[in-house]
Amino acid sequence: MMDVQNYLVVKPDLLNAEAPQTDISINTQLNETQSEIVEYDQTSNISLITVFDNERQQSNIFRPTVKISYIYENNIEGYCPNPSWSNYLNKLYYTKPTQSLISQQWSGVPSYEEFEFIRTDINNPQLNKTSFKGFITKSSSTYNWAVRLSYPFENLTGVTMSHNFQSNPPFNWVVSDGIPFIISVGIDNGLQILQFNCPVKHGLSIGEYVNLSSGFTYNNINTYQVYSLGNNTYGSDEYIFNLYNVGYTGNTFFSGKIGTFKRVIDIYNTGETTSRYYIRNHKIITNAEDTIITRSGFEENSYSNKAAYQLSALTPNKIANISRYQSSYTYNATFERDFDLSNMLDNNGKPVTELFATFQWCGYFGWHNRLQRGWQLNLTSGTTNNWFDFTNTDSYETNLQTVYTQVERTLSNVNPNTFFFNINLPKKSGDTVYGDFCEYNDSEQLERVVSSYMNKFTYNQTLFTTDVTANLTNPNGYYYQVHFPITLKIFSEYIETAAPNSVVGVPSYAFFSQNQNLWLWRDIYEYGFIDSQGRGVDYPFLNEAHYPFKNVVFKLYSDESSFNVTDFYKITIIPLTDPCE
């Protein structure tokens, strides 16, 4: 601002007669006035909780830890057929030593080292210097298992699935067709019903609808309302749904007929409320050198270690030893890299809210065949499912394999024998692997796992024959769940809506419902927020990073397990009994 003053301007020649005519300049002063911001604006209350929470919500860096509580039962017995590879034969735990001594066919099970996440048998000569440069200690945690991180990045809808309904031949369908069922006919509370038995949880509620596959169209209708659930046995309501039999005639519905269904929430809006079914496809994001596997202190699971002293007279090489064939160790897996998940989208185009601990059997010590894949619905309690027959190429896992050889001369053989050992090479960063069989409904904005993805490994029967009557193309083996979710964020329990012209607050992954003329989405809860249902994540945040933790109970399910495998598989088809009866 200019300071207004009075100026007296005198021409030079009037001031002094001799003065020359010159320009006159006036120095003006510009005074700048500053006013301090008011007291309220000057003061800012610092809340450490708020500062911490702001930093926590802004961070997208994750450092996950996975604890692996490993449970298995080393119970698939076998023997080394002649000619025997001595390194296998001499390391067995002999289950029938006296009989074996007579028959000279030594039955047993392999050492616990063949199952562990960290092998400690550094003197094992299996990995010879020609192929492997011997046992490398830093690789001790990679010889048997590979633990990776992955996330689902796309949905596969054209995958062929198969299931054996009791004595029926395998039923094949494409995953996008939905969930399979087999019909039985019965009575519920005096009413005639059609009972649909599913090998997996159907996910239906009473009053919802099912869109049945071709072959179930009656009077040009193939969408029916669910009348009731279950067959009055415990837990059956999750696997069985019933339609009211209004007196259907002909062959549309008959007991034993097999098909698939899709869930429909609103029959007047089938386009948006019909569930989609697919296989999640995962992308691996870590490599072997990223994973650090260590023993979890001295922790062991509740199943005991098993070992036995074997007399020299009762071993094939006449050397006494203490044979340990089962352990109960617990392991930790951490990752050297930090994971920045900003801008990463999952298989449904939403921000990634889950990483997956992905397990793969490698078996560098050569005991096993190629890895196979399937889903829980392909497991049959007490018997080996046809899906895993080697003639079914759909059951082959997509990892690469390699073979190495060992040559050994035995006393009885003049010419040396050559043995071939198979390795399932581990997947690496950028590779893809199948995931769980899932259902997604746009109107609910919710994904549900229908059936978990499983792998199976079996013994190479030419090296270790597991049963005298074994089916060589479908031997018994071990199954394990491949993917275990590590929850990073949680979608809200409620569905948020917004008008079609709304922009602010509508996330990029929102679904626009033509029928409701609304944007639909589920919010992502903030870190540390737990809703009334107990949903939310609240793991440590420090060092500018989140530290999610996952306790994985990693089970090997054996075809010959003595424990019940029905905790993940259940189908009960029994004749319906009317409660009135």
List residues binding another protein (CB under 8 A).
2, 4, 6-11, 14, 24, 26, 28, 30, 37, 41, 44, 46, 48, 51, 55, 63, 118, 120, 122, 129, 133-134, 136-138, 140-141, 292, 336, 543-545
Comparison of 10 and 319: residue with beta carbon closer to another protein: 10
The label of the residue with tokens 């000569």 reads 125
Comparison of 257 and 295: residue with beta carbon closer to another protein: 295
Nearest distance, CB of residue 11 and another protein, angstroms: 5
Nearest distance, CB of residue 117 and another protein, angstroms: 13
Comparison of 48 and 102: residue with beta carbon closer to another protein: 48
Comparison of 133 and 318: residue with beta carbon closer to another protein: 133
Nearest distance, CB of residue 23 and another protein, angstroms: 9
Comparison of 471 and 543: residue with beta carbon closer to another protein: 543
Say what the alpha-carbon torsion angle 312, 316, 317, 318 is, to the nearest 10 degrees: 20
Nearest distance, CB of residue 122 and another protein, angstroms: 6
The residues, any chain, with a CB within 8 Å of residue 291's CB and separated by 6 or more, are 141, 146, 147, 148, 333, 334, 335, 336
Comparison of 11 and 409: residue with beta carbon closer to another protein: 11
Nearest distance, CB of residue 2 and another protein, angstroms: 6
Find the helix or strand (DSSP H, E) in which 420 lies: strand 417-424
Comparison of 200 and 293: residue with beta carbon closer to another protein: 293
Comparison of 336 and 538: residue with beta carbon closer to another protein: 336
Query: Token pair of 290, please?
Result: 């990223």
Of the candidates 195, 194, 198, the one whose C-alpha atom is nearest the C-alpha of residue 178 is: 198
Buried b (16+ CB within 10 A) or exposed e, 360-379: bbbbbbbbbbbbbbbbbbbb
- What is the C-alpha separation between 197 and 212, in angstroms, rounded? 13
According to DSSP, the β-strands at 549-555 and 65-71 are parallel
Comparison of 55 and 493: residue with beta carbon closer to another protein: 55
Find the helix or strand (DSSP H, E) in which 408 lies: strand 401-408
Nearest distance, CB of residue 24 and another protein, angstroms: 6
Comparison of 18 and 32: residue with beta carbon closer to another protein: 32
- Are the C-beta atoms of residues 356 and 485 closer than 8 Å to each other? yes
Comparison of 79 and 115: residue with beta carbon closer to another protein: 115
The type of residue at 251 is N
Nearest distance, CB of residue 126 and another protein, angstroms: 15
The residues, any chain, with a CB within 8 Å of residue 26's CB and separated by 6 or more, are 7, 9
Nearest distance, CB of residue 153 and another protein, angstroms: 27
Angle CA(53)–CA(54)–CA(60) in degrees, nearest 5? 95
Nearest distance, CB of residue 289 and another protein, angstroms: 8
Angle CA(485)–CA(280)–CA(197) in degrees, nearest 5? 95
Comparison of 67 and 280: residue with beta carbon closer to another protein: 67
254: phi > 0 → left, psi -120 to 50 → alpha, else beta; which? beta
Strands (E), 235-390: 240-244, 258-264, 276-284, 291-300, 306-310, 321-326, 329-335, 339-340, 354-361, 372-375
- What is the C-alpha separation between 202 and 242, in angstroms, rounded? 11
Comparison of 143 and 421: residue with beta carbon closer to another protein: 143
Beta bridge pairs of residue 181 = 259
The residues, any chain, with a CB within 8 Å of residue 549's CB and separated by 6 or more, are 64, 65, 66, 67, 539
Of the candidates 372, 348, 375, the one whose C-alpha atom is nearest the C-alpha of residue 179 is: 375
Cα separation values, 476 from 58, 210, 293, 455, Å = 50, 37, 29, 13
Nearest distance, CB of residue 88 and another protein, angstroms: 22
- What is the C-alpha separation between 536 and 568, in angstroms, rounded? 25
- What is the C-alpha separation between 173 and 159, in angstroms, rounded? 8
